[in-house]
Chain A
Amino acid sequence: MRKIYSKIEQIAGNVITVKADGVKYGELAEVTSRHGSTLAEVIRLQGEDVYLQAFSGTRGISTGDEVRFLGRPMQVSFSENLLGRIFTGGGLPRDSGPSLSENMIEIGGPAVNPAKRIIPRNMIRTGIPMIDVFNSLVVSQKLPIFSVSGEPYNQVLARIAMQAEVDVIVLGGCGLKYDDYLYFKETLEEGGALSRTIFFIHTAADPVVECLQVPDLCLAVAENFGLQGKRVLVLLTDMTNFADALKEIAITMEQVPSNRGYPGDLYSQLAARYEKAVDFEGAGSVTVLAVTTMPGDDVTHPVPDNTGYITEGQFYLRNGRIEPFGSLSRLKQLVNKNTREDHRALMDGMIRLYAQYKDTLEKKAMGFRMSDWDQKLLSYGERFESGLMDLSVNIGLEQALDRGWEILSACFMPEETGLRTEIISKFWPKKE
């Protein structure tokens, strides 16, 4: 039986301090107060003093409350029984199902040996032309959607989850609005995907420390399904809330902030999570799709900035559309060579022309004269935006490529597109 301590020395923010011995770094404790009990994690040892981060916060914890050390770090149960279930950031059931305690696994485990990774090679089809055609998503990729609040980023996530051919979906909500949580649940239920989905949900109303656990819980579960050969898709929304939770703890611990109050290890903390995306040699894979809202729509803000340095590209979602500029899938060249032979050429050609359309728009706004060529570009830009960019468009890759050719041929002469002759002679739509 482990010792129980009943003298809390200090309570500051979400961190409490007790004097105890035999405690290990990273170990869990249970703090029981009049208002219930909370798990807490050891985040610092200093002589006899043990600093604990209380998952449910410290509100209502009294100096006389009991602290019982559990002798193990944070764990989660891993089995098929997780499928279809909904949990909190503390790992407790949020639905009416039983709590699970079989096959407990550690969270936040060690990194995969790079020698056991393989070069990813399979595309994830989403039905969104701006992704499939222009920035293909790849199995095992880690990729955030950069956006601002009010944009339909959660809808995009849900849609990709529904369309993607994966075995398991793990949804992690960090500071999720309750409505959004219900939206995800309903959408996945309607689409019949609930039975292969696992939720770890921290809502905006829950204690902030639980938010910190969500990515680790999701990724530990995903990793283990991956090791069993499953293709797993992890959705994390919104990682800016996760970063803000890190900031809060760092400030409580009186760490020197590095940039706008965020701790100096923000990069390492985010990377430790995103790098769990993997294609295992001889087993399954974990793909991580996240949402990062940009405070003040500023991509140089520390959270999107550090994220961009970690992930394999990003999708900019603005005005309800995935922007062709700035959006980047760094892994697309690994897959778009094996789709259809016009894929790469059309992708480059259409974006080049769209860039010229943007220049023309600028010229137009400045009041410069519009030439014939400018007129063509204007008509092209409009068709491109409604036919391919609009998020309501939901078509397969091949259909999207065909549509691309239709748009080009409706606006331009073949030689005006800058595309190679062989490709044009094969794919340019014939006039009836």
Chain B
Amino acid sequence: MEPKKGTVVGVTGNMVRVQYTGDVMMNEVGFLKVGDQRLKSEVIRVRGRIAELQVFELTKGIGIGDEIEFSSDLLAVELGPGLLGQIYDGLQNPLPELARRCGFFLQRGVYLDALPAELTFEFTPAAEPGDTVRRASVLGTVPEGIFTHRVMVPFGLRDEYTVEWVAAKGVYSVRDVIAKVKDSRGAVIPLTMIFSWPVKRPIDAFRERLKPAEPLITRVRIVDTLFPVARGGTYCIPGPFGAGKTVLQQITSRHAEVDVVVITACGERAGEVVETLREFPEITDPRTGKSLMERTVIICNTSSMPVAARDASVYTGVTIAEYYRQMGLNVLLLADSTSRWAQAMREMSGRLEEIPGEEAFPAYLESVIASFYERAGVVRLYDGGTGSVTIGGTVSPAGGNFEEPVTQSTLKVVGAFHGLSRERSDARRYPAINPLESWSKYRGPVAPRKVEAVKDILVRGNDVLQMMKVVGEEGTSLDDYMIYLKSEFFDAVYLQQNAFDPVDAATGAERQRRVFDVLLAVLLTDYEVADKEKARGLMNQLRQTFLDWNGREWNSKEFAAEEENILGRVRAASRDPAGTVEAKIKKLEG
């Protein structure tokens, strides 16, 4: 067989052309030798004896004739205990460790172990010699922060194996051999706590995929009540710059009711990641009493880091998410922003001189986006348990116009759409999700017919507002005016949520259901008001009390008192016979 090697014959931007001998594989990793540096790259096209590779580093200094070593491996990440709490770049380089070694700047060609050998865990065996195991079978467990981490047979081992030996209970390095298994042909394979998995291939070590049915509670009211997300589902947040995509994801990463959050900062500002990585260790997660960092993994390939690694970063993120799903956990993957990833594809496609599609994005954009979101899901694992990966991605459409390829391709595949609007963010109505345009295919914690009733008021209120802009307040009937006031009320006390208020920042599902009933009482009541001035006065008063209520601790005495206060005011101003509004609300149940 011809030896496998190659030399550079062309360089443009972050792409090199290589003439090779032997066989190369699509998406194979190669290392370009430039001086004493080795630069990681990936085969993205092969034509005849020429392979084209995207280089994950700055390409300055590469010359014709430089050698390349092919690794025979696909681009992969290391999986094992110790990933939680880490901050990696798109290629799974640990950034804090890199900073210790290289100082202020990212030095190209330096690749550190994602999980260093110094990392140790207390291993408790779960398998015994003689057991028959296959991929994803549990060999033992280690405690990882708040979780019991399963040490499993690598997902890439597709045979049946007999356990030859398992390490006794004790503390081991992640790179120590903790088991030996024998395959059907008698070869013995030593296993450590770590194995690798190619990032562009979904982890498929489970029995079946299930339909996402459980709501994922984000504790953002407008999301959970109006446009819910499901565990194992997908959603997207498109919006113009400054509309609040990142802040919304930051809030979600703090408050969402999931076990693990993987944050992929893809081609966005470094400063935003710094906020997360400096603040999370200081914040206690009320659900576990531990620092939020213990349930978080950050993958960060910010906008000034090499572009090709942006593409890798979303895959690195989703692979780590899938890995924790295999432990029976609910994982949320947040990607900010998928447009930057799409742009990285566009840059590469341009260098390959492929025939461009709309706005010069490659023709395969849509299918690549679709297969990325397909990696979300609820699965039944081999042991009968379940785990889920939920994916939420932001989209940054050019000019804030949703009629563009990335937004449109994404909308075709996701289960919920949280569209942010410039109008709402300019008016400081945060979170600036447009309630008239957004949608969700999932079911949330509040009864759907109740939600419909309120959405209806929102739509009618908006109609009145549009009309009022033409005919003025004078030309609007009192009834119409009241509908407008009610829709504004709903917006102010429920859709808007103060991210900086310690109580209002996060509203649990139970509280949402309770508050929503009171809200319905306010909105469905027919009020005894003489004129528009009085109507506005009444709704302003109710708004003030309701906002105060939003700031009360859940289930506290003050909470109950404020609730009674609101209902009392409603009753006092109502012209409905007693009990009619309650009956109306009851009918919307279930």
Contact of B270 among A114, A267, A331, A366 (CB under 8 A): A114
| B401 lies within 8 A of chain A by Cβ | yes
Q: Considering the chains assembled together, what is the distance between the CA atoms of A14 and B399 in angstroms?
A: 30
Q: Which of A24, A256, A308, A312 meets B271, CB within 8 Å? A: A312
* Interface positions of B from 385 to 407, Cβ below 8 Å from A: 396, 398-401
Query: Which residues of B are found within 8 Å of A283, using beta-carbon distances?
Result: 104
Asked if B277 is at the interface of the complex by the 8 Å CB criterion, the answer is yes
Whether the Cβ atoms of B398 and A305 lie closer than 8 Å is yes
User: Total A-B pairs in contact (CB under 8 Å)?
Assistant: 174
Q: Does residue A192 face the partner (Cβ distance < 8 Å to B)? A: no
Q: Do the beta carbons of B242 and A23 come within 8 Å of each other?
A: no
Q: List A contacts of B12 (CB < 8 A).
A: 43-46
Q: Smallest CB–CB gap between B359 and chain A, Å? A: 5
Chain B: minimal CB distance from A233 (Å): 17
Name the residue in B98, B360, B472 with the highest tally of chain A Cβ atoms < 10 Å from its Cβ.
Answer: B360
- Contact string, B243-276, partner A, CB cutoff 8 A, digits 1/0? 0000000000000000000000001011101110
Contact of B242 among A263, A267, A300, A328 (CB under 8 A): A328
Complex contacts, B9 vs chain A, CB 8 Å: 46-47
- Complex CA gap A117/B279 in Å reads 13
Residue among B271, B275, B343 facing the most chain A CB atoms (10 A cut-off):
B271
Which of A24, A110, A255, A366 meets B350, CB within 8 Å? A255
Docked Cα-Cα span, A44 to B350, in Å, equals 14
B310's closest neighbor in chain A, by CB? A268
Residues of chain A contacted by B347 (CB below 8 angstroms) = 264-265, 268
A120-B271, A259-B398, A275-B269 known; A112+B64 contact, CB < 8 A:
no
B1-60 interface (Cβ within 8 A of A): 8-13, 17, 58-60
Q: Which residues of B contact A111 (CB under 8 A)?
A: 105-106, 270, 302, 304-305
Beyond A111-B105, A115-B96, whether A275 also contacts B270 by CB under 8 A is: yes
* Bound-state Cα–Cα, A298 to B183, Å: 66
Contact residues in B for A114 (Cβ distance below 8 Å): 87, 95, 270, 273-274, 277, 300, 302
Which residues of chain B are within 8 angstroms of A308 by Cβ–Cβ distance?
240-242
Task: List the B side residues contacting A45 at CB < 8 Å.
Answer: 8, 10-12, 62-64
A414 at the interface (CB under 8 A from B): no
- A20 vs chain B, min Cβ distance (A): 9
Indicate with 1 or 0, residue by residue over B174-193, a CB within 8 angstroms of chain A CB atoms.
Answer: 00000000000000000000
Give the docked Cα–Cα distance between A158 and B580 (Å): 67
Give 1 or 0 for each of B95-134: 1 = CB within 8 Å of chain A CB.
1101100111111100000000000000000000000000
Tell me, rounded to whole Å, the shortest Cβ–Cβ distance linking A133 to chain B. 16
The contact string, 1 if C-beta is below 8 Å from chain B, for chain A 90-131, is 000000000000000000011111111111100000000000
Given A117-B271, A268-B343, A309-B241, verify A25-B104 contact (CB < 8 Å). no
Tell me if A272 and B304 are in contact (CB < 8 A): yes
**Interchain CB contact (< 8 A) of B303 among A115, A271, A300:** A271
Question: Is B242 a contact of A330 with CB atoms below 8 Å?
Answer: yes
Size of interface on A: residues with Cβ below 8 Å to B: 65
B428 to chain A, nearest CB (A): 8
CB-defined contacts of A301 to chain B, threshold 8 Å: 399
Q: Does B307 contact A (CB under 8 A)?
A: yes
Interface string of A290-320 (1 = CB under 8 A from B): 0000000000111001101110110000000
B589 within 8 A of A: no
Interface 1/0 per residue, B438-453 and A, CB below 8 Å: 0000000000000000
Given contacts A47-B10, A119-B275, A257-B360, contact A26 B303 (CB under 8 A): no
CA distance A307 to B273 in the complex (A): 19
Number of interface residues of B (CB under 8 A): 65
A73 at the interface (CB under 8 A from B): yes
Nearest-Cβ distance from residue B467 to partner chain A, whole angstroms: 14
Distance between Cα atoms of A387 and B59 in the complex (Å): 53
A291, chain B: closest CB distance, angstroms:
18
Q: Please, what's the 1-or-0 string for A206-230, where 1 marks a CB less than 8 Å from any CB in chain B?
A: 0000000000000000000001000
* Cα-based distance from A331 to B269 in the complex (angstroms): 12
B104 contacts A24, CB within 8 Å? no
Q: Which among B8, B108, B398 has the highest number of chain A CB atoms within 10 Å?
A: B398
Give CA–CA (A239, B407) in the complex, Å: 27
Expressed in whole angstroms, the Cα–Cα distance for A118 and B59 within the complex equals 28
User: Taking the complex as formed, is A326 at the interface, i.e. its CB lies under 8 A from any CB of chain B?
Assistant: yes
Q: Which residues from chain B contact A43 at a C-beta distance below 8 Å? A: 12
Whether the Cβ atoms of A113 and B303 lie closer than 8 Å is no
CB neighbours (8 Å) of A276 from chain B are 304
Most chain B Cβ neighbours within 10 Å, of A25, A310, A368: A25
* Residues of A that sit less than 8 Å from B by CB: 21-27, 43-48, 73, 109-120, 140, 227, 255-259, 263-265, 267-268, 271-272, 275-276, 278, 280, 283, 300-302, 305-306, 308-310, 312-313, 325-326, 328, 330-331, 355, 363, 366, 368-369
The 10 closest A-B pairs by CB, nearest first: A300-B399, A271-B303, A26-B60, A275-B304, A308-B241, A258-B360, A111-B304, A45-B11, A115-B99, A115-B95
With A114-B273, A115-B99, A267-B303 known, 18 other A-B pairs at CB within 8 A are A45-B11, A46-B10, A46-B17, A48-B64, A110-B105, A111-B270, A111-B302, A113-B102, A113-B105, A114-B87, A119-B274, A119-B275, A255-B350, A258-B346, A258-B361, A265-B307, A300-B400, A309-B396
List 30 A–B pairs whose Cβ atoms lie within 8 Å, in order of A's numbering.
Answer: A21-B64, A21-B65, A22-B63, A22-B64, A24-B62, A25-B11, A25-B62, A45-B8, A45-B64, A46-B17, A110-B108, A111-B304, A112-B270, A116-B99, A117-B270, A117-B271, A227-B104, A256-B350, A257-B360, A264-B343, A264-B347, A271-B267, A271-B304, A275-B302, A300-B400, A300-B401, A301-B399, A305-B398, A306-B398, A313-B242
